Structure 1
Amino acid sequence: MIVNEPKRGTTYHFPDFSPAQRGALLYIQRVQVETEGFLSGLDVEFSPGLNVIIGARGTGKTSLIELIRYCLGAGAFTEDAANRGRQQAVAILEGGAVTVTMRDGDSSFLVTRSASGHVTTTGTRQPTCTVLAQNEVEAVGAQAAGRLHLIDRFRANRDETAKMMSNLLAHVRSLTTEILAILNDGGRLSEQIASMSAVTADLDEARKHQQQLLDNARATEDQQLRLLSLQQDSQRLALRESVVDQSESSVESLAGALTRLASDASSVLQTWPADDQDDPLTGARFLLADVERLLNTSLTRLAEVRNSLQAARNETAQRQVQVDEASRQLRQSLEELQAGIGLTTRRVVELEEYQGQLFALQNRLSERTDRLRSVSAQRDSVQLKAEELRDQVYSDRLAIVRELNRTLAPAIRIRLAKSENLEAYRSTIVAALRGSGLHYNSLAPMLAQAAAPHEVVSWVEQNNATELGGAIGISPDRASSIIAALRAGGTPDIIASTVEDGVTLELLDGQEFKASDRLSIGQRCTTVLPILLGHHGDPLIVDQPEDHLDNAFIASTLVSALQSRQPSDQFIFSSHNANIPVLGGANRVLVMNSDGDRGYLTHAGDLDAPEIIAAVTDIMEGGERAFATRAAFYRNETVSRR
């Protein structure tokens, strides 16, 4: 029984939030099933307005609805409903296919999907519709994602916005991956540089000692200048060798990435069925072949780069041999003048080479630092665009919620909270920390609640344990452990995780509003159905919307919403309740039956057609005798109360 439902007879007049979708009437005109499975050979037609599918249980009403969802890729409000619906559709097809004809203004197009998932279409417009399975209506009110989806049905261009956001977040994730690689590379370079920090001081000391020995030996000015020149040559050659080493490493990384891309390119487009000679992807395959050729050409060029680097390495090695030989001869001459000068000179040469390597590492670190600034600036720019898009989406949702509240008051109230749903964000942190040995189930909620994804990633990238620890009230040492775990590769997913707006649906129960997740199933349906029926544009398909609702609510509020439909609306309901087709003024009624092995259509037509009247009476009212008995009972009750 419904408690404090909306006022009986209330008529909701919903505004059209999606004018872009109302230009040409798009509706489901026909559904055909191939000669396989329980509904083999089924061929049904629908009309604009209210279509009601009736029939005994087990005749295929739900299966027909799930085939429409499956063919059009309509999705679901809950993951569970999506999985169950897909499984049912595939089982019903038994290897066959279903075709849906969509009417688009004055023209029509076909969408066909096989049990294996292959989709073909003759149209260019993306068909959109909303499908709710039995028991899915109440799940909408119980789950955060379902409630948000309910509001988003009113948003124009929601699919385009979702694609834009997906592309922006993919770009952010890619840039963050690069930043992570730069930071890791920079960390290794810093460690190497730190390990060589004493080179400069050691070299200065060795040079002083060398100069003392040269002065004692009374080496000529030419000998000293020659020695200095050879030592400088050794340092330059060491620098060149280090540059070649790092360049070869970078080239190998690039070659590996290009090899993977070239390998993936050939499988980007699916092979066209052998029995279909008309491949519409031929042009795309030629273009993709060009991409593959360019990638292979790039790999060939990289091989030439490798050869150039090897040539530079060989030349450097040859020059080093020459410098080493000249240095050896000069050291021998100087050793004859002063004992120990040869060993000291050799030490200076070694330290000069180390310093050359140090210079190369410092240059590389400077390049990495510059690249980090550049990539970080790019990411900031993309993140700003994503935030602006989120703000626009929130603004659109807020306008929808305000208008719905105006329309549904006082019985139903909707609240919208910006960036309130942390579930996906929290799950991403858990996944990033799993296997680290940390208590991620307790840390993830704290971190998600305390800071936005970009803040967490910023702390990780800057190794800022103080800020992170302070945000969630833990010690810097423990925060450092979190940073180390996230720096292992979790930051790209974290920064691209979605923090969605939160939607709360509330029903007036007595003197207070109760949130939909605290309501009974019937109350939840009472809250959700008026909102579902208020959207104009997309076809709405619901399996047994009367479930969990009392007849009073159906006869007043639900029927009232159906009677208020606009010419552009298409509703397809399966139902066991006669009030829906009769009081709702169904434009078309479809009667399903079954012989146990196959479900089929027996009648389809207007509500006042004789065979439809007979079917509604027999199936939904229990037959003429039962209908007459109830009618007599209600007449007698009315007379007795007077």
Structure 2
Amino acid sequence: MWVSRLRINGGFLNGLDVSFIKGLNVVVGPRGAGKTTLLELIRHAIGAEHADRQRETARQALLAAVLGSGEAIVDLEDANGGSQIIVDAKGRGRRPELSHSVLVLGQSELEDIASDPASRLRLLDLRAGDAQSVPDRSRIANLTRRLFESRRVLEDLREESLKRPGLEADREIFKSQEAAIVGESGSPLASQRDQLNAVEEKSSALARKLDGLTRAREANAKLHETVALASEIATRLAMLARDSIGAAGDLSSHIARVEELLSMATGESGRIDREIRIQTDTSVAAESGLKETAAPLRATLEETEAGLGQLTAQIRNVNAQLLELDAVDAQISVLEQELQTMRAERDFEYATVEAAEERLFRARLAVAKVTSQEIDNHIVVSVQHLSDTRELRTLLLERLKGTHTRSSLIDSLAARVLPRFLLEIVEAQDVLALASAGDLTHDQAARVIGALDSPDALASLSQVALLDSVDFLLRDGAVDKSVETLSTGQKCAVTLPIVLSERDRTLILDQPEDHLDNAYLVDHVVTGMVRRSASAVQTIVATHNANIPVLGSAGRVFVMASDGQHGHVRADGKFDEQPIVDAITSLMEGGRDAFARRSAFYEEHGSLL
């Protein structure tokens, strides 16, 4: 796909109407004439992504200023014919599928990209085009939070369950004391005791039922609240579909079905609440009756034998606590199963993410290999899998603040332990495993686990992604120099050939000659543009350097000018047409006289060259 025409209605370039060609298109003109604005409006209309995202806010401010309430109209061509997009300053009218179809690098972007690891990675992804993205980790974070909460509840329940042996021992003591007082099972006291025990067992069962009904009512209230919120969202969706999307047919029917189901759920929740209330009232009345029945029996036993009523009450209380522990053990069993299920779900989500990361790495590696083959043999694109640990280090620095953990130790930990492995170690409270994996002392590992064992910290840790790291290596003899160690000019000299090596998409460059000497520009940059033209690939360049349109044999040159209020195209044509030659000579060579004097100087002092 390539850009065949650009029209601007409104703003600084109001009335602009230019047609581009395949091959090399060059935009020239004095500073302030609108060269950068023209390129940025193409980028904005197509929605081409920025390799340097830090400047996105500044670019949006520029677009608001230069386009205002106007619009950019871009005509596009491909093997299937033509299409057109009309986009305003806020991006309305874009077609998302076009965002990777053009690669745009603005002024000073090359240097910024070369200096920033994230931007180098982004450039390689833009170069890769439709490389697969990594799935969102938000579900992993949600599962991690739920696991933390369930783990804490399980710990409390297990601690509660430890009371069982002591309660069972107490019950045996109380029963033996009771038996000593009551005597044989057929005695009158034994009969009254058995009656009281039967009543109190029924009372305890009703108490447990009432407790369950209370929890059920609370859960149903949350359900009702959730359904009400979902109903509000469904109503907004229906309004959006009706008023903005203009939905009809299947979409409208699906939304209506959702609203119908939510209405049914609201009704069922109301009926559940009414049934819970009825059962609660019935159980409260029954419990009250049982208490009235138990009171005289307990009083009779106490009057007959001092302390017997108290023993019976103690046995009843112990039995009630043991029954509660039965419920606790049942909850433990359910929670253990839920934890197992949630861990399996999270493992699946992690596997999905890790498989996508592997696919993306392979795509990046393939692009790096092809790119390195297409450019000069002194430049190599290197990709290291999951070697960028900055995000993990940042999280550890934040979470371990105040624990007296040295930054050098944090650096070592981030380099040695994968985020997922660290997460699982913290959840398992495995101090020895962390000490071994992270080369830490026992105390240091315990401090790290203590600092990370919270729902927020673990959720954040679960979302940490180790990134692939991309480097542009300059081979200087037997030494490969990282782009991060190079001068500004060298950074641009290494990065620009990588960009120009692409042969599939339109490439838009704003003043690529910055920081480059003319010899390098001619030998590597202009040559790269000529190769792209020979491959029938479109390049659009704004420049102040005459070598680009002249030695690049530009098929279309646009000469821009401005009256201070608006920019416009003063002339356009091939690089060798007379109006264009005159413009290049005047604007970019300093005029014919200056060019002639330089030519005479080089001829006279040619022996110095």
The answer for the alignment partner of 1:332 in structure 2 is 299
CA 1:111 to 1:201, structure 2 compared with 1: closer, same or farther past 3 Å? farther
Seen in structure 2, the aligned counterparts of structure 1 residues 92 and 212 have a Cα distance that, compared at 3 Å, is: farther
Query: What per-residue deviation string (whole Å, max 9, x for no partner) do you get for residues 181-207 of structure 1?
Result: 322433444455457874443333333
Partner in structure 2 of residue 3 of structure 1: none
Structure 2 residue aligned with 1:32: 7
2:514 to 532, 537, 547: 547
Deviates more, 1:300-309 or 1:39-48: 300-309
Measured at CA, do residues 223 and 483 of structure 1 come closer, stay the same or move farther in structure 2, by a change above 3 Å?
same
Deviation string, structure 1 residues 516-538 (Cα, Å, up to 9, x no partner): 01111111111111111111222
2:339 counterpart residue number: 372
Q: Give CA deviations for 1:266-313 in whole Å, capped at 9, x if unaligned.
A: 55699699xxx8744566576446545544543443333333333333
Counterpart residue number, 1:229: 198
Q: SS of 1:98's equivalent? A: strand
Paired residue type of 2:430: N
Per the alignment, residue 9 of structure 1 pairs with: none
Alignment of 1:591-630 (within 5 A): 591-630=559-598
Q: Secondary structure at the match of 2:455?
A: coil
Structure 1 Cα separation of the partners of residues 570 and 164 of structure 2: 88
1:140-167 Cα shifts (integer Å, max 9, x gaps): 2111112222332343531xx21xx224
2:287 maps to what in 1?
320
For 1:262 and 1:542, how far apart are their aligned partners in 2?
A: 50
Equivalent of 2:173, from 196, 205, 217?
205
Q: Which segment drifts farther, 440-449 or 556-565?
A: 440-449
> Does structure 2 conserve the Cα–Cα contact (< 8 Å) formed by 1:180 and 1:489?
no
Cα distance change, pair 477–307 in 1 and its aligned pair in 2 (3 A): farther
**Residues 92, 172 of structure 1: alpha-carbon distance in 2 compared, 3 angstrom cutoff:** same
Contact persistence 2:189–2:301 (CA under 8 A): no
Q: 1:247 to 1:481 in 2, by over 3 A?
A: farther
Q: Which one of the candidate residues 71, 81, 87 is aligned to 2:45? A: 71
Confirm or deny: 8 A CA contact 1:172 1:496 kept in the other structure: yes
Larger mean CA deviation between 204-213 and 359-368 belongs to 204-213
- 8 A Cα contact 1:155 1:396, kept in partner: yes
Larger relative contact order (C-alpha < 8 A, sep ≥ 6)?
1
Which residue of 557, 573, 576 maps to 2:544? 576
Partner residue, 1:239? 208
Match of 2:329?
Answer: 362
For the pair 1:86 / 2:54, whether they are aligned, the reply is no
Task: Identify if the C-alpha distance between structure 1 residues 188 and 329 changes in structure 2 by more than 3 Å, giving closer, same or farther.
Answer: same
Is 1:464 the counterpart of 2:427? The answer is no
Structure 1 residue 460, shift from structure 2 partner: 2.3
- Which consecutive unaligned segments of at least 5 residues does structure 1 have? 1-25
CA distance in structure 2 between the aligned counterparts of 1:516 and 1:365, rounded to whole angstroms: 56
Separation in structure 1 between the aligned mates of residue 563 and residue 238 of structure 2, nearest angstrom: 43
% identical aligned pairs = 27
TM-fit CA distance, 1:597: 1.0
- Indicate if the aligned counterparts of 1:101 and 1:109 stay in contact, CA closer than 8 A: yes
Amino acid at match of 2:343: S
- Name the SS of the counterpart of 1:417 in structure 2: strand
Letter in 1 for 2:212: V
Deviation at 1:467, TM superposition (A): 2.9
Residues 338-382 of structure 1: per-residue CA shift (max 9 Å, x gap)? 222222212222232223322223322321211110011111122
1:46 aligns with 2:13: no
Cα contact 1:147–1:503 (8 A) shared by 2: yes
Q: Contact 2:231 / 2:262 at 8 angstroms: preserved in 1? A: yes
Instruction: Please tell me the residue identity of whatever aligns with 1:452.
Output: L
Name whichever of 522-531 and 350-359 sits farther off.
Answer: 350-359
- Counterpart residue type for residue 59 of structure 1: A
Which of 100, 105, 129 matches 2:74?
100
Provide the C-alpha distance between the structure 2 equivalents of 1:301 and 1:280, rounded to a whole number of angstroms: 32
Question: After the TM superposition, which of the residue ranges 242-251 and 455-464 deviates more from structure 2?
Answer: 242-251
Give me the whole-angstrom Cα distance separating, in 2, the residues matched to 1:535 and 1:232.
Answer: 82
Q: 1:426 to 1:223 in 2, by over 3 A?
A: same
Q: Deviations over 1:44-95 (max 9, x none)?
A: 2222221111111111111222222223222222232323222212221223
Structure 2 residue aligned with 1:110: 84
Q: Quote the offset at 1:481 in angstroms.
A: 4.8
Q: CA deviation at 1:553?
A: 0.9
Who is 2:387 aligned against?
420
Judged with a 3 Å threshold, the aligned counterparts in structure 2 of structure 1 residues 239 and 199 are, in CA distance, closer, same or farther, namely farther
The separation in 2 between residues aligned to 1:341 and 1:597, in whole angstroms, is: 103
Counterpart residue type for residue 21 of structure 2? S
1:556: Cα distance to partner? 1.1
Q: What TM-score comes out, normalization by structure 1 length?
A: 0.85
8 A contact 1:231–1:352 mirrored in 2: no
Greater shift, 297-306 or 42-51, is seen at 297-306
Q: CA deviation at 1:105?
A: 2.6
- CA drift of 1:324 comes to 2.3
Confirm or deny that 1:56 pairs with 2:38: no
Tell me the residue number matched to 2:265.
298
1:160-183 C-alpha deviation (Å, 9 max, x unpaired): x21xx224x233223223223322
Corresponding residue of 2:115? 142
Check 1:78–1:27 CA distance in 2 against 1; reply closer, same or farther (3 A cut). same
- Alignment equivalent of 2:128, drawn from 150, 155, 160: 155
1:130 aligns with 2:103: yes
Q: Which amino acid aligns with 2:547?
A: N
1:632 to 2:600 alignment:
yes
Residue of structure 2 in register with 1:21 after alignment: none
Do the aligned residues in 2 keep the contact of 1:590 with 1:605 (CA within 8 Å)?
yes
CA contact (8 A) 1:242 1:360 kept: no
Q: What is the alpha-carbon distance in structure 1 between the residues aligned to residue 334 and residue 528 of structure 2?
A: 66
Tell whether the 8 Å contact from 1:110 to 1:122 is kept in structure 2 after alignment.
no
Which residue is 1:387 aligned to?
354
Measured at CA, do residues 580 and 118 of structure 1 come closer, stay the same or move farther in structure 2, by a change above 3 Å? closer
1:282-293 → structure 2 map (5 Å cutoff): 287-288=254-255, 290-292=257-259
- Alpha-carbon distance, 1:476 to partner: 4.8
Deviations 1:230-282 (A, max 9, x none): 34324433433343344344444444444444444555699699xxx874456
1:9-29 residue CA offsets vs partner (Å, 9 max, x unmatched): xxxxxxxxxxxxxxxxx1222
Measure the CA separation in 2 of the matches of 1:184 and 1:73: 47
TM-score by length of 2: 0.89
Q: 1:523 maps to which residue? A: 490
Q: Which residue of 2 aligns with 1:18?
A: none
CA distance in 2, matches of 1:148, 1:291: 42
Asked if 1 retains the 8 angstrom alpha-carbon contact of 2:405 and 2:444, the reply is no
Count of residue pairs the alignment pairs up: 605
Cα distance change of structure 1 residues 516 and 118 upon mapping to structure 2, 3 Å threshold: closer
What is the CA RMSD across the aligned residues, in angstroms? 3.2
Name the residue aligned to 2:145. Answer: 177
Measured at CA, do residues 402 and 127 of structure 1 come closer, stay the same or move farther in structure 2, by a change above 3 Å? closer
Aligned partners of 1:53 and 1:575 also within 8 Å: yes
Gaps of 5+ in 2: none
Task: Provide the rounded CA distance (Å) in 1 between the counterparts of 2:406 and 2:46.
Answer: 40
How far apart are the structure 2 equivalents of 1:442 and 1:99?
A: 54
